[in-house]
């Protein structure tokens, strides 16, 4: 294998190069993209936010970015199913590493995340963030809305995350309430998929409950998302607890009765027309995982988000 190299996370000569690391070895950036803080010429960024102090039940999502990066080693340099292309043949993408947060000063966390996200977005790059618990979506939404205006929120989740919020809480269950109140999302263009818990408010957001996901086809769910968002700039947030605990046991607040990863990946694969301006995958907590089931699901969801981006780019 004379042309093969290893440790693309720091040896890659080009940001668009296909990696050839063996799945069982090599430095673990997300999908072996180069680790760098240099945003010059970069089209897409993967970034980790190792934060879980807002978790209401079991903590551990601060280890999510590490687990998802490690699980992403299963993606070799072949075209990634169902996308029939090397996602990075033309799309220059880096792994920006993690966000530095002070575990003793959580009141500073939202502003730090928002500021660092804004720095990445100012470069014009697409940002895909790996959480961390779902609180992180609040400062991420703020940074994206500052560029694009109020966003259509497409949320895959078992929970609505609309619990009471006084504007100061560090809570992974209230970012949607805050985002509606502060006008960073447009509830009339927003939709939540996989909901199977009750919350005090829905703010007029369209809900597709867990049992409806079971009854609808993937094409029907994708159509509902595309109809609801209506071509508006969208932010895609994927709480891994959208999936049934059988497919994602490694998470903080699992809820039985959810969809399979196959069903939801099929939905994601049909979202090509969605104008995704930013995305995240949150709530992967590897301490409760088994055989990397949840980390692999999270890495695959992230890969699909990049695949959609690469296909949209190629169609331009
Ligand atoms: Mn959530």
**pLDDT single digits (tens) 219-249:** 999 999 999 999 999 999 999 999 999 999 9
Q: What's the topology of domain 8-314? A: 3.40.800
Spacing, Cα 96 to ligand 1 middle (Å):
24
Q: Are 228 and 155 in contact (CB under 8 A)?
A: no
Does 8 count as an annotated binding residue?
A: no
Spacing, Cα 40 to ligand 1 middle (Å):
33
pLDDT digits (tens, 9 = 90+) for 181-199: 999 999 999 999 999 999 9
pLDDT of 316: 81
Query: Residue 10: which residues within 8 A CB-CB, separation 6 or more?
Result: 27, 34, 35
pLDDT of 86: 87
pLDDT of 1: 47
Does 21 count as an annotated binding residue?
A: no
Does 290 count as an annotated binding residue?
A: no
Listed residue (132, 196, 198, 194) closest to 163, CA to CA: 198
- Rounded mean pLDDT of the chain? 96
Q: In what order do the strands lie in the sheet with 234-239?
A: 34-35, 93-98, 44-49, 126-131, 276-282, 234-239, 152-156, 191-195, 206-209
Spacing, Cα 283 to ligand 1 middle (Å):
7
Spacing, Cα 134 to ligand 1 middle (Å):
5
pLDDT digits (tens, 9 = 90+) for 56-114: 999 999 999 999 999 999 997 778 999 988 899 999 999 999 999 999 999 999 999 99
Report the pLDDT averaged over residues 115-137: 98
pLDDT digits (tens, 9 = 90+) for 127-164: 999 999 999 999 999 999 999 999 999 999 999 999 99
Does 157 count as an annotated binding residue?
A: yes
Mark the residues whose beta carbon lies below 5 A from ion ligand 1: 134, 157, 159, 161, 239
Higher pLDDT, 179 or 17: 179
- Judged against a pLDDT cut of 90, whether residue 2 lies above it is answered with no
d(CA 298, CA 68) in angstroms, rounded, equals 6
Helix (H) / strand (E) element for 225: namely helix 218-229
Residue 51: pLDDT band (50, 70, 90) is: very high
Residues linked to residue 129 through DSSP beta bridges, in sequence order: 47, 280
Residue 3: pLDDT band (50, 70, 90) is: low
- pTM for this predicted structure: 0.97
């Amino acid at each position: 294998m004379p042309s093969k190299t290893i440790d693309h996370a720091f040896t890659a000569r080009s940001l668009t190069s296909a990696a050839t690391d063996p799945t069982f070895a090599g430095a673990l950036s997300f999908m072996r993209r180069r680790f760098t803080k240099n945003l010059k010429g970069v089209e897409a960024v993967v970034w980790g936010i190792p934060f879980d102090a807002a978790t209401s039940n079991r903590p551990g999502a601060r280890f999510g970015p590490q687990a998802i990066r490690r699980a992403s080693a299963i993606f070799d340099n072949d075209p990634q199913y169902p996308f029939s292309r090397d996602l990075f043949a033309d799309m220059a993408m880096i792994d920006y590493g993690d966000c530095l947060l002070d575990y003793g000063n959580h009141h500073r966390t939202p502003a730090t995340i928002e500021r660092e996200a804004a720095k990445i977005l100012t470069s014009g790059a697409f940002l895909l963030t790996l959480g961390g618990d779902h609180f992180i979506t609040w400062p991420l939404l703020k940074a994206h809305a500052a560029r694009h205006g109020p966003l259509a929120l497409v949320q895959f989740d078992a929970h609505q995350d609309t619990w009471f919020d006084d504007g100061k809480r560090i809570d992974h269950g209230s970012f949607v309430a805050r985002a509606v109140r502060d006008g960073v999302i447009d509830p009339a263009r927003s939709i939540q998929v996989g909901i199977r818990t009750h919350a005090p408010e829905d703010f007029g957001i369209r809900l597709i409950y867990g049992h409806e996901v079971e009854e609808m086809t993937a094409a029907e769910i994708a159509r509902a998302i595309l109809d609801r968002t209506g071509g508006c700039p969208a932010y895609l947030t994927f709480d891994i607890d959208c999936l049934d605990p059988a497919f994602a046991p490694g998470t903080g607040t699992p809820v039985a009765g959810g969809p399979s990863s196959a069903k939801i990946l099929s939905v994601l694969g049909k979202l090509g027309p969605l104008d995704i301006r930013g995305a995240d995958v949150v709530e992967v907590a590897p301490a409760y995982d088994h055989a990397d089931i949840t980390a692999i699901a999270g890495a695959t969801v992230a890969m699909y988000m990049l695949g959609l981006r690469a296909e949209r780019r190629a169609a331009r």
